[in-house]
Amino acid sequence: MPRILLLTGFEPFGGERRNPSWEVARGLDRRAIGGLEVRAVRLPVTMGPATRRLRETIVRLAPGAVLGLGQAGGRPALSLERVAINLFSNDEAGGGRTREVITGGPDAYFTRLPLTPMLDALKREGIPAALSLSAGAFVCNAVMYAGLHALRRRPSIPAGFIHLPYETSQAARHRSTPSMSLDLMARAVELAIRAIAARRRA
């Protein structure tokens, strides 16, 4: 029986009608990829409810891998996040009031995803992607941090986060903004999952 990969995306926010992170996640839901069965979960764009739902789902599904997806409008490529920090700002730009994601938790967690194989697989197919040193300080970072914290006693489970650009239809409403088709983003996430599955089998 294939192990479960928990794939999370977010509901729309900021006046958008769609969020590519959830559109990609739900499109891959229940698919078997590289021996992993994808289970997609939609998260609210609110720190407390989002991190609670993530923790509850990890307990319920006991996944063999966790991959979070979020939108970073304005970025020209997929961003493979390296670090999540124990800091949350109620302002997406990071200038609002701040507090810890997990009270008394470590300052930061590093991703457990196989970033180099993932990046290599994306580049082989000509999909724009890059490593990122910061997942920001908003809900995406909080979800990445909370997921890694929930799995802190299970260090063999791959877990991490990828930011996606605007989807093409969104970019039409934002002048001079980079974007990517939903199909290409879905293909990119599938390749990332295959790299995760290969690392688990190694």
Task: Report, as residue numbers or ranges, the catalytic residues.
Answer: 81, 140, 163
Element spanning 179, H or E: strand 179-180
State the maximum Cα–Cα separation within the chain, in Å, rounded to a whole number: 47
Burial class (CB in 10 A: 0-12, 13-18, 19+), 32: exposed
Provide the token pair at 18: 């769609």
**What is the distance between the alpha carbons of residues 133 and 141, in angstroms, rounded to a whole number?**
11
**What is the distance between the alpha carbons of residues 10 and 8, in angstroms, rounded to a whole number?**
7
Which residue has tokens 């302002």? 91
Provide the token pair at 195: 């790299």
Which residue has tokens 């996430």? 189
Query: Quick check: helix, strand or coil at residue 124?
Result: helix
Integer CA distances (angstroms), 52 to 43, 47, 49, 57, in order: 10, 9, 5, 8
Query: Quick check: helix, strand or coil at residue 108?
Result: strand
